[in-house]
Amino acid sequence: MKISEIYVYPIKSLRGTSLSAAIATRHGFQYDRKFMLLKVHPDGFKNMAVSHFPEMTLFLTHIDYPEDDDRGIGSITVKFTAPGSTDTKTLTIPLLPNTQRLETIEINMHNSPTDAFKMPAEYNEWFSSCFGYEVLLVYLGDNLRDVLFQDLKPSKGSSWLSAISSNIPLLGASNPESKQITFADCAAYLIVSNTSLKDVSSRLSDGIEMDVTKFRPNIVIEGAESPWEEDFWGKIRINNAEFTLAHNCIRCKSINIDFKTGKQPTDKAGNVLKKLQADRRVDRGAKWSPVFGRYSYLDPRNGDRPLKVGDEVTVIRLNPERTVWSRITPRSMPQCSDTDKL
């Protein structure tokens, strides 16, 4: 098997940037989900995620990397075209903003709080004009969030217990070596199989092919012999780096969104979630939600590692049973959750 596609999402829930190569770190791909948008309310703000704000899919992103590693600035280009319009608005954001004079704000995602920096007014005003309501753009900087899945309830002998016995740090804020992530919901990486994607497409009518970006993966792998075999992958190796596939990615109505309109469609093209619910509700911990993809973590002992399209992928451990989704409290669940039923 090999990597067929790599995606980085510089601003959470906006469309991702397709790359031929990226630097993998223990916290996710470099520059992945370091920015996030907040909807302003009279009494505060709301974290914006595509599951509740489908119009976020109308924004395209492109990363221009620093010329001299992190000693340069680099930039993110965001493009927005309103449905039915031919006028495209463009915004350029520094990839590595100077935070010395920026006000901080506390962000609480799924009971995992952290501080972030409010970006200057010019960026907030641009996004507000596109959305039609007031928003804030915030930057994570060097701050990170703890992963709060302390109890993944794996089956005996599965990858997570094996990871614990191999001294890979446990999850949880109480552990000083806890795994940490950016503004990603649950894990540093989401890994999916192109073979399983083809199975999804086969369920759709009129020769429609499912767009893999609706699943918001970081790494797409091609060459798996059969659909859904990744359900049992416990650990894979890519370019001498090992990834633990810790738990399933449960799916919600966000995979139905029409990227042309930024809305939930009303025709048959918008019933992907329902079709997957027929036989992909395979995780006992999320009985209403179908599974597509695996949340994953890079073994921190590997250090930062460049990955590129075409890199060979090898499964080095299989689980005898599927891992089981679990949570600490209802508030710790991602916004795209098993409560989003059709």
228 residue type, one letter = W
- What per-residue confidence (pLDDT) applies to 267? 67
H/E stretch holding 114: strand 112-118
- The C-alpha atoms of residue 152 and residue 124 are separated, in whole angstroms, by 38
Which residues are 193's β-sheet partners?
221
- The C-alpha atoms of residue 196 and residue 9 are separated, in whole angstroms, by 22
Residues near 159 by Cβ (< 8 Å), separated by ≥ 6?
A: 233, 234, 235, 244, 245, 246, 317, 319, 323
Per-residue pLDDT tens digits for 159-212: 333 343 333 333 333 343 457 899 998 899 999 999 999 999 999 887 789 999
- What per-residue confidence (pLDDT) applies to 82? 95
Between 57-61, 106-110, 228-232, the lowest mean confidence (pLDDT) is in: 106-110
Q: pTM for this structure?
A: 0.88
Average confidence (pLDDT) over 252-272: 86
- What per-residue confidence (pLDDT) applies to 71? 56
- What per-residue confidence (pLDDT) applies to 184? 94
Whether residue 44 has pLDDT greater than 60: yes
Per-residue pLDDT tens digits for 294-327: 999 999 888 999 999 999 999 999 999 999 887 5
Per-residue pLDDT tens digits for 278-291: 999 999 988 899 99
Q: How confident is the model at residue 331 (pLDDT cuts 50, 70, 90)?
A: very low
Q: What is the average pLDDT value for the chain, to the nearest integer?
A: 86
Percentage of residues in the chain having pLDDT higher than 70:
84
More confident residue, 233 or 167: 233
- What per-residue confidence (pLDDT) applies to 139? 98
Q: How confident is the model at residue 9 (pLDDT cuts 50, 70, 90)?
A: very high
Per-residue pLDDT tens digits for 67-112: 765 556 799 999 999 999 999 999 999 999 999 999 999 999 888 8
Which residues are 242's β-sheet partners?
237
Q: How confident is the model at residue 135 (pLDDT cuts 50, 70, 90)?
A: very high
Whether residue 271 has pLDDT greater than 90: no
- What per-residue confidence (pLDDT) applies to 176? 36
DSSP 312: B
Q: How confident is the model at residue 261 (pLDDT cuts 50, 70, 90)?
A: very high
The answer to whether 107 touches 116, Cβ cutoff 8 Å, is: yes
